Chains A and B, each alone.
Chain A
Amino acid sequence: MAPVDIQIGRGPNLDGALLGDTDPATQGGYPDHPPRMGFFTDTSVCIGCKACEVACKTWNAIPEDGLVFTGMSMDNSQGLGASTWRHVAFIEQRKPVAAQDPGVVHDQNVLELAGNPTAPGTNGDFRWLMASDVCKHCTHAACLDVCPTGSLFRTEFGTVVVQEDICNGCGYCIPACPYGVIDQRKEDGRAWKCTLCYDRLSVGQEPACAKACPTDSIQFGPLDELRERADARLARLHEAGVADARLYGRDPQDGVGGDGAFFLLLDEPEVYGLPPDPVVTTRDLPSMWKHVTVAAATLVGGALAAFVAGRRL
């Protein structure tokens, strides 16, 4: 069960924890907690099988949400939403993968070449990118900050979970998410998103999507380990000449303090429909309050001055 008692009545912590590398579980009120858990989704080995989408829906009993032929390559589930918590994007590109020469060099040592790590999809000037998107479980989660009921809470694993029996459907969290992940179901108005399979984590199991992923494109584990693994993978790809490869959401100094679910991408984030520079939407709250205070003081001062001046009149 979710530790509701810890959360209820606890408003957003605005004491300087909205920026930078912090330990969200400690911030969330768990002095003694397991390591922060997360996803590293390595899109360079994703085969687009959508097993993650189906495993997620099956485990979490999410309803089918539309039989729509979109024409968007092989993507008919369109994006993350209230009833799609894992989503595989398909991007067809007229673009060669990095520096690997796709042409024929008849005098090259193919054996030596075969010994090197291979770049994904060296296919002349065409490639098909696939990437499984998910809630980022931000270090600084605006959805959680703005939730007035405590339905959204930080777990002991550092993940962000919405509780369906507490959510009152106010919808504040929807525009607060810098990634557009959390979403309301039209039927009941409540907000839904990936729980990082909190129920499975609680009994020592990995999330359904990671379990189902045949190529380990979705890796689950302690975030520290995942970051190390991702750094090594990135270095290997760069070595192999895949200059475009990059990590997304890996950096604890980014606008959301780093993501609990981060990615290895082979192109600009926008190509995958991800914001290039996401910022926790509640970042400016403290300074806003300061401004409010100043403004209020100014207003009061002005009123007083006017009052005083009026009296003089």
Chain B
Amino acid sequence: MAECHPVGFQWVMEAKARGAKVIHVDPRFTRTSALADIHVPLRAGTDIAFLGGIVNYVLANDKYFRDYVVAYTNAGTILAEDFQDTEDLAGVFSGLDPDERTYDFHTWQYEGMEVQAASGHRDQEYQDKVGGKNGKGVRQSGRGESHGSGGVGISGVPQVDPTLEHPRCIFQVLKRHYARYTPEMVSDITGVPVDTFLQVCELLSENSGRERTSSFVYSVGWTQHTVGVQYIRTAAILQQLLGNIGRPGGGIMALRGHASIQGSTDIPTLFNLLPGYIPMPHAHSHEDLDSFIQGESPKKSYWAEMRAYTVSLLKAWWGPAATPDNDFCFDYLPRLTGSHSTYETVMAQLAGDCKGYFLMGENPAIGSANAKMQRLGMANLEWLVVRDFSLIESATWWKDSPEIESGELTTEDIGTEVFFLPAAAHTEKDGSFTNTQRMLQWHHQAVEPDGDARSDLWFTFHLGRIIREKLESSTDEMDRPILDLTWDYPTKSSPARPEIAEPEAEAVLAEINGWDAEGGPLSSYEQLNEDGSTVCGCWIYCGVYSNGINQAARRKPGIQQNWVAKEWGWAWPANRRILYNRASADPDGKPWSERKALVWWDEDKARWTGHDTPDFSATKSPHYVPPTNATGAEALAGIDPFVMQADGKSWLFVPAGLTDGPLPTHYEPQESPVPNLLYRQQRNPVRQITTMVHRNDRFQPSGDEPGAAVFPYVCSTYRIAEHHTAGGMSRFLPYLAELAPEFFCEVSPELAAERGLEHTGWATVITARGAIEARVLVTERMTPMTVHGRRLHHVGLPYHWGNNGLATGDPANELTHLSLDPNVHIQEVKALACDIQPGRRPRGRARDELVEQYQRRAGITEQTGTEV
């Protein structure tokens, strides 16, 4: 966190100054470790084993917060009889179809009922609800980013054993599932000494409960794995058991790779979501708005109002053209025919199906996994638009990529027309950032952009305007969705740059917030209607412009308000600073402790009150019991804090919504020098690889397989404080470039001695995909560890560099592969296996030959590493 989020780390330092203990779990000793109380180096790719071990410790030693767990989680819910765990099936769950590499989630259900996912893969149940046959392509296309809010559908009433004794209740299933994650097993897998592991267990459990809370902070070190979503799920289980959700000082914080990545999932840049986590419709036959709502939304919880959210969104986009008679233009929305994630898009480029590509602030030729595949994909396009501050590698690969050097590509033969359009920085435009706590903060333009640089808002608005002008006389039905768009944002110009007609960013914010039939700004998503009388561009952001005031621009100093600081910026939903904060009070509505009081039930006034905005119906008594036929929010009881879930409970066990199992299970990464010590199953059986098999994306043997020893080291890519992601914002700036001017790798003195690597000399790092060279930084911050009885080394690879700019070097992503997490299609670049040798890499064609030689030595074929 101190490396990649130094500004945010000030709050960790502040907590530390007040006595908080900071535990840093990371294979490397980083700037964060330097300031932590305990640094726990673990083998990259083994966090589920580590966290699962803590779950086992908490359950085995009765360290869980029982009152919280019984009241607010699904611990007591009884599962259907046909569920079989990894314990029963040697590391896989019931429902696995090994040929299709998918799970049928039907055996993961609650006894006697069907549950729908809160978020994640909601479409799993579409066919069950609407009827008909679901194609595999559609099924695999996924619901993507599971963070943010979501809804869950449930039909029937779950059977619950509040004593948590029933053998099929989730609590007992959980206990059995994690029983084999003993401290010794954890140590053997992760390389963390048993003593250190137990110290973490003790600190965490002692610092949780009625009086105290602990929080988790993670970044892409958890997400970028073939089981990335399950990493975070394991932390979620732990936080539920310890009572650390919905309470001050608790929670799980996802630190984002860029400013406003949270914002770009709320109002998504993702293929599978509409604004506010409304799922993108699939290409089901004859799906209209009614069947979409029926198929995707639950009967209970706030998601039961999905029709109002969707209709208001359609009204925001298509205005007067959206009427009840034409389903509010629901048919104007594109439909998913499969997964269209970044990596599938690359495959589509290679296949010639994807012909044009916009890169806005993204440098895949450096920053995406298997950089070569990215470049080959771009070389097969008709046109490419790059908008960035500098001439990044993704804009110049056609003249200076390794493929040009090796002769694999020649500039004359590349048909791609490349447009480079310089972009304005955040200081040069108005706009908002949404941070990981869902807080929007407005930033005002400070200076005019230089030269031809323009904001993304300017670019998108005027591109749309010009396209609409060109289509104006069209009578083709296909063009209606574009011509009917509400595309009328006011523009402004500064006296210094009269030629720039910059759209008013606040006008966009006002549309996102929405207005009523009279045009007055809305203040809450509870005002949204399904009859088309309200307009709202993103239902969860409704209220950010209440009373016509930009609430995100508020900057009232902390000393002038209470510690929750509700008048600094604005947080969705409804300016709540801590989600599910009903859980900060006990079932009777009293705070669990005075020290950790946040919101509570005021019996005299008969309403919820407290420091934060209650995330609960303000007047719903803790003793409220819903009538049997209630729907929507009415159907949630007074003790159901998790208001977006159809059962109002948080989920230790996930009966629906995940493609790779209802409970997190340790699997080794796609490539690992170590066999899975827990189960016969080596890797996540449903990791996403089949669509990715390509001669430039070969996998390596793992564990005890022959040839695995050719790649004996674990390598991990990461960022350092000096640079930003793929370098577009840092390598071209002299003051940042000089701080870390060259690509380097980090190795321990022991590994340096083993391979003859010289400090500040050169090393070549090789995988089945590529060979790169790096300067060598020998440092004791890299800890050799003992795993499964053998000495194991990491090779650390910061991934910021490329050929362009002032600070240069080979991109680490030449080494990485396209085996993905099946839920969110993210690449596994945090844990792979490699070899390292002293000296510089060969040039041109000889470089490819070195890789081919390694492939032959390891016996790599098309099938290697693709086993279920």
A contact set with B: CB distance below 8 Å = 45, 47-51, 53-54, 57-58, 63-71, 73-74, 76-77, 92, 94, 102-104, 106, 110-111, 113-124, 126-130, 214-216
- Residues of B717-733 whose CB lies within 8 A of A: 720-722
A residues in contact with B212, CB < 8 Å:
111
A residues in contact with B33, CB < 8 Å:
121, 123, 128
Task: Determine how close the nearest CB of chain A comes to the CB of B774; give it in whole angstroms.
Answer: 10
Which of these, B7, B19, B32, B737, contacts A114 with CB under 8 Å?
Answer: B19
The 3 closest A-B pairs by CB, nearest first: A64-B734, A67-B741, A49-B6
**A128 and B34 form a contact (CB under 8 A):** yes
Interface size class of B (residues with CB under 8 A): 35 or more
Which of these, B38, B199, B738, contacts A76 with CB under 8 Å?
Answer: B738
Task: Determine how close the nearest CB of chain A comes to the CB of B425; give it in whole angstroms.
Answer: 14
- Whether a CB of chain A sits under 8 angstroms from the CB of B110 is no
At the interface, is chain A mostly helix, strand, loop or mixed? loop
B residues in contact with A102, CB < 8 Å:
38
- Whether a CB of chain A sits under 8 angstroms from the CB of B457 is no
- Residues of B239-267 whose CB lies within 8 A of A: none
Cα–Cα, bound, A116→B21 (Å): 10
Cα–Cα, bound, A117→B16 (Å): 8
**A215 and B13 form a contact (CB under 8 A):** yes
Which of these, A47, A77, A110, contacts B9 with CB under 8 Å?
Answer: A47
For the A-B complex with A64-B734, A110-B207, A121-B36 known, give 6 more contacts whose Cβ atoms are closer than 8 Å: A69-B775, A110-B202, A110-B206, A118-B22, A126-B29, A215-B13
One digit per residue, 1 when the CB lies within 8 angstroms of any chain A CB and 0 when it does not, for chain B 198-224 equals 110011001100001000000000000
Which of these, B34, B35, B195, B742, contacts A103 with CB under 8 Å?
Answer: B195
Cα–Cα, bound, A58→B33 (Å): 29
CB pairs A–B below 8 angstroms (24 shown): A47-B2, A47-B32, A47-B721, A49-B2, A49-B31, A51-B6, A54-B735, A58-B735, A64-B735, A64-B737, A64-B738, A67-B807, A71-B775, A71-B777, A76-B741, A102-B38, A110-B206, A114-B207, A119-B37, A123-B34, A128-B29, A128-B31, A214-B6, A215-B10
B residues in contact with A127, CB < 8 Å:
34
**B780 and A126 form a contact (CB under 8 A):** yes
**A77 and B29 form a contact (CB under 8 A):** no
A residues in contact with B13, CB < 8 Å:
45, 47, 215-216
How many pairs of A and B residues are in contact by the CB < 8 Å rule? 146
B residues in contact with A116, CB < 8 Å:
19
- Whether a CB of chain A sits under 8 angstroms from the CB of B269 is no
- Whether a CB of chain A sits under 8 angstroms from the CB of B122 is no
Cα–Cα, bound, A230→B86 (Å): 57
Task: Determine how close the nearest CB of chain A comes to the CB of B204; give it in whole angstroms.
Answer: 10
- Whether a CB of chain A sits under 8 angstroms from the CB of B453 is no
**A77 and B739 form a contact (CB under 8 A):** yes
A residues in contact with B195, CB < 8 Å:
103-104
Cα–Cα, bound, A263→B331 (Å): 66
B residues in contact with A104, CB < 8 Å:
195-196, 198-199, 202
Task: Determine how close the nearest CB of chain A comes to the CB of B123; give it in whole angstroms.
Answer: 43
Cα–Cα, bound, A49→B806 (Å): 20
A residues in contact with B199, CB < 8 Å:
104
A residues in contact with B34, CB < 8 Å:
47-48, 120-121, 123, 127-130
Cα–Cα, bound, A48→B386 (Å): 33
A residues in contact with B779, CB < 8 Å:
73, 92
Cα–Cα, bound, A126→B779 (Å): 11
A residues in contact with B196, CB < 8 Å:
104
Task: Determine how close the nearest CB of chain B comes to the CB of A167; give it in whole angstroms.
Answer: 24
Cα–Cα, bound, A45→B760 (Å): 29
Cα–Cα, bound, A63→B781 (Å): 32
Task: Determine how close the nearest CB of chain B comes to the CB of A59; give it in whole angstroms.
Answer: 11
A residues in contact with B739, CB < 8 Å:
50, 53-54, 76-77
- Whether a CB of chain A sits under 8 angstroms from the CB of B740 is yes
Q: Smallest CB-CB separation from A236: which chain B residue? A: B17
- Whether a CB of chain A sits under 8 angstroms from the CB of B630 is no
Cα–Cα, bound, A106→B195 (Å): 9
Task: Determine how close the nearest CB of chain A comes to the CB of B743; give it in whole angstroms.
Answer: 9
- Whether a CB of chain A sits under 8 angstroms from the CB of B736 is yes
Cα–Cα, bound, A58→B198 (Å): 47
**B19 and A92 form a contact (CB under 8 A):** no
A50, A63, A130, most chain B CB atoms within 10 A: A50
**A69 and B735 form a contact (CB under 8 A):** no
Which of these, A63, A73, A115, A215, contacts B19 with CB under 8 Å?
Answer: A115
**A123 and B36 form a contact (CB under 8 A):** yes
Cα–Cα, bound, A92→B29 (Å): 10
Task: Determine how close the nearest CB of chain B comes to the CB of A117; give it in whole angstroms.
Answer: 7
Cα–Cα, bound, A126→B29 (Å): 9
- Whether a CB of chain A sits under 8 angstroms from the CB of B429 is no
Task: Determine how close the nearest CB of chain A comes to the CB of B739; give it in whole angstroms.
Answer: 6
Q: Smallest CB-CB separation from A63: which chain B residue? A: B734
Task: Determine how close the nearest CB of chain B comes to the CB of A62; give it in whole angstroms.
Answer: 8
- Residues of B261-294 whose CB lies within 8 A of A: none
Cα–Cα, bound, A4→B7 (Å): 39
Task: Determine how close the nearest CB of chain B comes to the CB of A273; give it in whole angstroms.
Answer: 18
A residues in contact with B780, CB < 8 Å:
92, 94, 126
